[in-house]
Structure 1
Amino acid sequence: MEQSNIEDLLRQMTLEEKIGQLTQITGDFYSDKAEDRTGPMSQLGLDDEQITNVGTVLGVVGASECRRIQRQYMERNRLHIPTMFMGDVIHGYETIFPIPLGLASSWDTDAFEEMARVSAEEASVSGLSAVFSPMVDLVRDPRWGRVMESTGEDPFLNGKFASAMVTGYQGEPGELQDHFNKVAACVKHFAAYGAVTGGRDYNTVDMSEQRLRDVYLRGYHAAIEAGARLVMTSFNTVGGIPATGNRHLMQDILRDEFGFDGVLISDFGAVKELISHGVAADESQAASLSIHAGVDIEMMTLCYMHTLEALVTSGAVDERLIDESVLRILRLKNELGLFEHPFRGADEAREKEIVFSTSHRATARRITAESLVLLRNNDATLPLKASQSIALLGPAAQSPDILGAWSWRGRTDRAVTLMQGLRKFASADGESMRSHVKTTEERCDYFVPTESVIAASVELAKHADVVILALGELSTMSGEAASRSNIHLPKGQIALFDAVHKVNPHIVVVLFNGRPLDLSGIEAADAILEAWYPGTEGGAAIADVLFGAVNPSGKVTMSFPESVGQIPVFYDEDNTGRPYEQAPNEKYVSKYLDVSNYAAYPFGFGLSYSHFSYGSPVVSVSGNGFSAEHPAIIRVSITNDSEVDGVEIAQLYVRDLVGEVVRPVKQLKGFQRVALAAGETREIEFELDEKDVRYVHLDDSMRSDPGDFLVWVAGNSRDLSNPIRLHLE
């Protein structure tokens, strides 16, 4: 449809019809069974006539149902405007990939793009036009349950992954209208939701404007620059104002500065929650605050529908604000091709072929193996040998609960468990692994293993060459509304570990969890493999890594604390006036008395079955030196000085030694996945541009400061050596 036709359509709409377009409800209201509609309609205060004007639908499942609802909707809608279906596709539709925090450990933007592409294919053929992903909330507090949806603690990496996901979902600019295997991406949650006080969900966010812009907004900006067509507001306050009613955040920054011209949607119920926050006295004031902030769609509350018409009549709200929002929604529907093709990609026959296909599962297995992180491997315990007898123990040994809390359409009954993955992994002579992998008949509880389970586990461990102990969190222990003050493994799991270790010290721990954990209590493990919630093919991918068919290459993107008392502990902290490193034996420096300043497993850390060594970096600059016109080229040689082919993730860190605003002690500015054959040496190259060292100053401008910088290339954020000094003219 031409732009002029969209504007003409808007002119034909009544105010009531316009307000309907600004409302989103769930698919329950469109059930073909009257008795199923009655309860939700009564609870929300909706009638059939209002439903015919509601512009978007949340959470409908399947091509057949989407086609049915769309057909009936357009028959009843006076202007035959199509509705639009949206859903929570976070890290897969039915083919579930690792949680984003796990996927980030691959440090592979192509993997993110491929995950999003597969998700878009499955979601679109099942009737969805938009997905609520990527989540771009920077997180530095693992107590927050929704850290599982994030990509970690670093703004640079966060932005790279966000951009890749947007491209995977939407394709290149213009593809949404012509390629119905694409979906619109919705960036969430704007803004700074990951910085909630105390790591407690829905809580307050309080920080300086400089910190907000310099650290927390970068990822959202990257996603918007990649072309994301929707943004979702966050539940939290920013600067004392809830985001959903925050005009400065949504209009001044998102619209005016970032240039976002797409659709802004509230999170579930967030408009009405302005009343609970205490900034609105009633639905009318909540609606006024939200529409003036530029919120186009109210999700699952009816403040707009109940009060906007009266607000326009009284003059409190200019109808032009509503027109602007409706026009953005109609433009998005047009971008998706819905006016010409209201059913878009929804196709029952293709749905059966594409969703959870063999090729998609193979992709998930390959990407999952990249996301696993080897945290410890004493005495080269891993990889295992097929000839070894294995006792597979612990609560996650046979559990299909490996998809994570936000796998909306994922089915645990189709997930490959760790036991299944190990037993399907063929030994060298083709013999089934079943005879080599034994486990207890009684399932082990996550919190309090029974005495009989512990006794049976001990007995199996006595006679095994190696014990694989599968520990971690239930999926309900992380995700939305799943904040935890204690991020240790449950005491019952530590008791199981201790009992088994007494009879067999050769323990490989495989962790299933949605956040970095305090791993004290399992220090005696020979090896620790962080598997996260690995998704549909989790068990198969873990087996690939445990037995060496895949050499682990993952590295964590969020630091694991030594103690919960350190939180937040992150790699790019600001320097202090009394830095611990300059006088570690002094009392009056910035340190703890009872624990170190450092993470147990820092940002960028992860082991391999290979060993990599770095040469000293060399810098070259053309012209008169490092400047806006002349980037610095940093070259370094990396050697795989082992007998195993592997992939190393080389990381470029920079420190600005003197700035107008205190700068972090180091910041990631580049990374590369480098595949090296056994014994191979290769020189890699990074380009550091002047714009890479810009930051937000006190006047909100983004610029660099001339002066000296330190530059490192290393395998993680902790083990930095041989810095080179670089001067910015």
Structure 2
Amino acid sequence: MTRSFLTAPDGTTFRDLNGNGVLDPYEDPRLSPEERTDDLLGRLSLEEKVGLMFQTVIEVGDDGELLEAPGRISKSATTEVVVGKNMSHFNVHHIQTARQAAEWNNNLQELAESTPHGIPVTISTDPRHAFVENSGVAFSAGPFSQWPEPMGLAAIDDVDAIRAFADIARQEYVAVGIRAALHPQIDLATEPRWGRQAQSLGHDADRVAEFTAAYLEGFQGDVLGATSVACTTKHFPGGGPQKDGEDAHFPYGREQVYPAGMFDYHLRPFEEAIRRGTAAIMPYYGMPVGLERDGEAIEEVGFGYNRQIITDLLRGELGYDGVVVTDWELVNDNHVGDQVLPARAWGVESLTPPERMEKILHAGADQFGGEECVDILLDLVAEGRVTEERIDESARRILLVKFQLGLFDDPYVDVDAAEALVGRADFREQGHRAQAESITILENVERDGVPTLPLFAGPEKVAIYSENVGADALAAWGTSVTDPADADVAIVRLGAPFEPRDDLFLEAWFHQGSLEFPPGLVHRLLRIADHCPLVVVVNLDRPAIMTPLVPFVSALAVDYGSSDAALLDALAGVIPPRGSLPVEIPRSMDAVRASREDAPSDTENPVYPLHYGLSLHGPAALR
């Protein structure tokens, strides 16, 4: 049972979190978050303060129960980390239903009340309102309303649309007890091969800064409060310029480079995030190579270990005093089944886990992402290598956010209300509309003065040859045929090309390497176009090289995560697509290889430049 609310002699109702029957200042809802933080910090043991400084994955039981054994990815039983290790920040992974998630939250918060001071749990999540399913990056929507990936929100190019998405996502998160978002991801996608572009907002720094402001407003509000979701803006100081586009999750992608000298360009969205009061900031794994600022060489270690980046730049120059949480697993290797992913200890691989942790704290970080090794930090304090005053500095920042969110006053949710709100019909409809509107039309060939798009303009149904488009969605518009020779039109959905890899844990889920379609696929599409008008739609999680397709397609479009129904609504003009490219589409891989990783729109003579997109209404026109 949860500890009941008590009433103080003056009539104040409060939660008796430490069970002493007295209204202590940290339990007093009338005091400011700062006052309550100061009081609680002085009461906590070293072990309780250290527990605050770790955030890792725990998983949800099928019926919302707590899992008391290691999960698919999580390493420990729930009671072990909450009670045994005094941890109170957890990243939730797979959620099947809103009821399950809400029940789990309430069970988890009840367990947290059994700890000495009843510190509530902060549940965080990676993005989960779109289509990508990658346990290292994001989750598909499941019971939540489904929207295009953030790149698609950027393609709509409307700050009000981003604010509306963020507000709906906030409501759905809060309903099930998720109170921290491990997003927005505001890295500038200047390197076309980089595998994390779908969750970015493009590479136009000024526009991404505007989007960031709207995103934070929708999730956090003007100030953090009892209906807010605290955002962790990432990945400082911008994770886009990865050498050759390889991702820094993996040893071969550890180097981050600035051949065009545009380090400060990548800072612009973060400057806006700081102005807008982001609750937390996460540095990226990348290791800067050959970087100088103000005549000073920047140490070639991962940004999470880098004092010049976190303390001197972020806290000093930019004036940020919020929480800094590292990206996942900078201290220990991650073993899952028979696969391993080395600790992302780039530049400090030779250091031991305690030495890595000490360097991260010296750099200025507050919380260790993906770790639960509280014993290492306790040993560092016992050995005099880390002071308790340094622990207090981080614990204070972390506790303050919990108080601002109102978690100490009531972390529980209404399970029935969560089930009614999450995935509500009007939320899903707005998500469907955004999916359709984000579609970006790149080619729309006219035949006898009539453009290919919009499709299905006549009253009769047409014969449609399709690939990767569901029969149920097609049935509203035409009759499916299996031979292009029998079709009035062909619609083919493609994923952007990538090189499959599966050696390291998580690697198979990351799309990396060449952006070129294989020649056999191009030849097969050409043969389809010999029989009927061909509409090709490419899922733009990275900017595919579309040059070979342009000569023979009748229409070419890109999506950023959309259902078949939303795509067909866009192609038919029922919901007019209004997307414009948040990144450029390069002409060739040679142009990509010759471009500079940190420079926006840097490939020579791109097929489609930044912000390109055609309208379906009237003559095709560049938006």
Aligned equivalents of 2:517, 2:162: Cα separation in 1: 29
User: Counterpart in 1 of 2:566?
Assistant: 541
Partner amino acid, structure 2, of 1:369: A
Alignment match of 2:89 (pick from 56, 59, 72): 56
Alignment match of 1:307 (pick from 373, 376, 385): 376
**CA deviation vs aligned residue, 1:465-523 (integer Å, no higher than 9, x gap):** 2222222249997997524322123445324312212222x111122241111013322
Of the structure 1 ranges 124-133 and 90-99, higher mean CA displacement relative to structure 2 is found in 90-99
User: Counterpart in 1 of 2:117?
Assistant: 79
User: Counterpart in 1 of 2:135?
Assistant: none
User: Counterpart in 1 of 2:54?
Assistant: 23
Residues 1:190 and 2:226 aligned together:
no
Aligned equivalents of 2:81, 2:488: Cα separation in 1: 67
Alignment match of 1:365 (pick from 429, 432, 437): 432
- Aligned 8 A contact 1:518 1:563 in 2: yes
Aligned equivalents of 1:71, 1:45: Cα separation in 2: 12
SS at match of 1:529: strand
**CA deviation vs aligned residue, 1:8-43 (integer Å, no higher than 9, x gap):** 211111111111110112224999577624998877
Partner amino acid, structure 1, of 2:614: L
- Aligned 8 A contact 2:52 2:86 in 1: yes
SS at match of 1:266: coil
TM-superposed deviation, 1:315: 2.8
Partner amino acid, structure 1, of 2:526: D
User: Counterpart in 2 of 1:10?
Assistant: 41
- Aligned 8 A contact 1:292 1:321 in 2: no
SS at match of 2:240: helix
% identical equivalent positions: 27
**CA deviation vs aligned residue, 1:560-604 (integer Å, no higher than 9, x gap):** 01111111659996999xxxxxxxxxxxxxxxxxxx921001101
- Aligned 8 A contact 1:255 1:261 in 2: yes
Q: Give the TM-score, by structure 1 length.
A: 0.68
**For structure 2, which runs of at least 5 residues remain unmatched after alignment?**
1-30, 96-100, 131-140, 289-297, 333-342
Partner amino acid, structure 1, of 2:48: E
SS at match of 1:195: coil
Residues 1:156 and 2:227 aligned together:
no
SS at match of 2:366: coil
Residues 1:610 and 2:621 aligned together:
no
Alignment of 1:240-389 (within 5 A): 240-272=300-332, 273=343, 275=345, 277-278=347-348, 281-303=351-373, 305-343=374-412, 346-379=413-446, 380-384=451-455, 385-387=457-459
Alignment of 1:430-469 (within 5 A): 433=477, 436-440=478-482, 459=483, 461-469=484-492
Partner amino acid, structure 2, of 1:498: L
- Aligned 8 A contact 1:467 1:508 in 2: yes
Partner amino acid, structure 1, of 2:357: A
TM-superposed deviation, 1:210: 5.5
TM-superposed deviation, 1:528: 0.8
Aligned equivalents of 1:43, 1:37: Cα separation in 2: 5
Alignment match of 1:512 (pick from 539, 545, 552): 539
- Aligned 8 A contact 1:90 1:132 in 2: no
Partner amino acid, structure 2, of 1:136: I
Aligned equivalents of 1:570, 1:236: Cα separation in 2: 17
User: Counterpart in 2 of 1:600?
Assistant: 607
TM-superposed deviation, 1:353: 1.1
Cα–Cα, structure 1 residues 88 and 286, in superposed 2: closer, same or farther, change >3 Å? same
- Aligned 8 A contact 1:86 1:132 in 2: yes
TM-superposed deviation, 1:347: 2.2
Cα–Cα, structure 1 residues 116 and 474, in superposed 2: closer, same or farther, change >3 Å? farther
Residues 1:498 and 2:526 aligned together:
yes
- Aligned 8 A contact 1:102 1:371 in 2: yes
SS at match of 2:196: helix
Aligned equivalents of 1:515, 1:336: Cα separation in 2: 36
- Aligned 8 A contact 1:545 1:552 in 2: yes
Partner amino acid, structure 2, of 1:472: G
User: Counterpart in 1 of 2:109?
Assistant: 70
Cα–Cα, structure 1 residues 54 and 500, in superposed 2: closer, same or farther, change >3 Å? same
Aligned equivalents of 2:432, 2:327: Cα separation in 1: 32
Cα–Cα, structure 1 residues 205 and 502, in superposed 2: closer, same or farther, change >3 Å? same
Alignment of 1:552-591 (within 5 A): 552-567=577-592
**How many equivalent pairs are there?**
535
TM-superposed deviation, 1:390: 4.0
Q: Comparing both chains, which one has the higher relative contact order based on Cα–Cα distances under 8 Å and sequence gaps of 6 or more?
A: 2
**CA deviation vs aligned residue, 1:340-383 (integer Å, no higher than 9, x gap):** 1122xx32111111111110011112222221111000101111
TM-superposed deviation, 1:532: 2.4
Across the aligned residues of Structure 1 and Structure 2, the Cα RMSD in angstroms comes to 3.1
Aligned equivalents of 1:286, 1:46: Cα separation in 2: 27
Aligned equivalents of 1:602, 1:39: Cα separation in 2: 42
Partner amino acid, structure 1, of 2:582: T
SS at match of 2:564: helix
Alignment match of 2:468 (pick from 383, 396, 399): 396
Cα–Cα, structure 1 residues 5 and 123, in superposed 2: closer, same or farther, change >3 Å? closer
Q: Give the TM-score, by structure 2 length.
A: 0.79
Cα–Cα, structure 1 residues 562 and 246, in superposed 2: closer, same or farther, change >3 Å? same
TM-superposed deviation, 1:533: 1.7
Alignment of 1:234-245 (within 5 A): 234-238=284-288, 239=298, 240-245=300-305
- Aligned 8 A contact 1:169 1:184 in 2: yes
Aligned equivalents of 1:474, 1:515: Cα separation in 2: 8
Cα–Cα, structure 1 residues 232 and 128, in superposed 2: closer, same or farther, change >3 Å? same
Partner amino acid, structure 2, of 1:381: T
**For structure 1, which runs of at least 5 residues remain unmatched after alignment?**
399-418, 425-432, 441-458, 577-595, 612-641, 649-714, 717-729
Of the structure 1 ranges 472-481 and 106-115, higher mean CA displacement relative to structure 2 is found in 472-481
Partner amino acid, structure 2, of 1:363: Q
